[in-house]
Amino acid sequence: MARFIAEMPKAEFHVHLEGTLEAEMKFALARRNGLTLPYADVAAMRRSYVYHDLPSFLAIYYDGMKVLLQEEDFYDLAHAYLAKAASQNILYAEMFFDPQEHLKRGVPMEAVIGGITRARADAEKQFGIQSQLILCFVRDLSAESAMAALDAALPMKQHLVGVGLDSDEKGNPPAKFAAHFAKARAAGLKVTAHCDVNQENTLDHIRQAIVDLKVDRIDHGGNILQSPELIALAKRRDLFFTVCPTFSGRVKSEGQPIDVVRGMLDQGLNVTINSDDPAYMGSEYLNEVLVRAQAQSALTQQELVRIERNAFNAAWISEERRKHFLGKLDSFARTWDVEI
Ligand SMILES: [Zn+2]
């Protein structure tokens, strides 16, 4: 099964570039930028990665990205992720980034988008991996700060494919960003939003993301399994879900906890599997996450192929490119005698 997963052509949609910032690179960037980190070494830094909920994770995550200051830092970050992804047979990735956090430290938007864009072009030439970029609004910062980031990015919108919404959901419902999403859609960008699992008012947030933000995808979204009405709405809209089993694999329910991947598959929802913030989750990238998800949710080879088919169908790419990727997946399935 591990070999099957490793060899399968894959796509990834829910990966935060800042969440791929490995401890080794933090030390290297800190050295380059003349910063001192409060850890003796890489091992000590990794030992500090202890979290019990979303806010405790985010505190470490935002602290970690302070070493990203120059255009070349963003280049190195994106290039390292894309090299790793290509080595795992990921043919295509759409990557999140959180520009507000960088603007706050005085890094210009041009350096952030410029560095990542240069890395995307080089990685495609070097490794054949194709990718696009999704600007995420940091939902626990002000609506004004999010609008300023969007306005700073729109002149470079040719380097973006869409906008998303991430960070601490508590008290920050999707509706807070309705104007931002409308503006992004009017500019021709695609839209997606995090609905983290087991959050306050989660079903209402899922509904707002679908109805008010008019999303094409929901990142996480596992609690939808508690609402037959929302499941029906998601199916009518043909929505895709980017589930990250490491962080959001289980929904707390009154009875037994619900296995999100299994539940979505059984409900006929378009589920995809993604790595989220691999550097902060034991350096488990997509292959490792899929191996874990396969065991956790007892996925068959046929279901794994179905999940990757969903992934290529979720991609914000031309139909011609989609056909090309799906053809590769089909021929892989035939090689392994998996019925498609
Ligand atoms: Zn996420």
Instruction: Report the SS3 class of residue 145.
Output: helix
Judged against a pLDDT cut of 80, whether residue 255 lies above it is answered with no
CA of 136 to the centre of ligand 1 (A): 10
All residues with CB under 5 Å from ion ligand 1: 276
CA of 114 to the centre of ligand 1 (A): 22
Contact 139, 176 (CB under 8 A): yes
Judged against a pLDDT cut of 90, whether residue 107 lies above it is answered with yes
Closest residue by Cα to residue 264 from 286, 240, 288: 240
| Residue 163 β-bridge partners | 135, 191
Instruction: Report the SS3 class of residue 125.
Output: helix
CATH superfamily placement of domain 2-335 = Metal-dependent hydrolases (3.20.20.140)
What pLDDT shows up at residue 253? 77
- What is the DSSP secondary-structure string of 174-203? GGGGHHHHHHHHHTT-EEEEEE-TT-TTHH
Mean pLDDT over the full length of the chain: 96
Q: DSSP character for 276? A: B
Residues placed in the known binding site for substrate: 277
Contact 13, 221 (CB under 8 A): no
- Those residues with Cβ within 8 angstroms of residue 217's Cβ, 6 or more apart along the chain or in another chain: 13, 192, 239, 240, 241, 242, 314
CA of 89 to the centre of ligand 1 (A): 21
Judged against a pLDDT cut of 90, whether residue 130 lies above it is answered with yes
> What confidence tier does 54 reach under pLDDT thresholds 50, 70, 90?
confident
Residue 92: phi, psi to the nearest 5?
-150, 135
Residues placed in the known binding site: 14, 16, 194, 276-277
User: pLDDT digits over 282-326, tens only?
Assistant: 999 999 999 999 999 999 999 999 999 999 999 999 999 999 999
- Those residues with Cβ within 8 angstroms of residue 90's Cβ, 6 or more apart along the chain or in another chain: 10, 11, 12, 129, 286
What pLDDT shows up at residue 252? 84
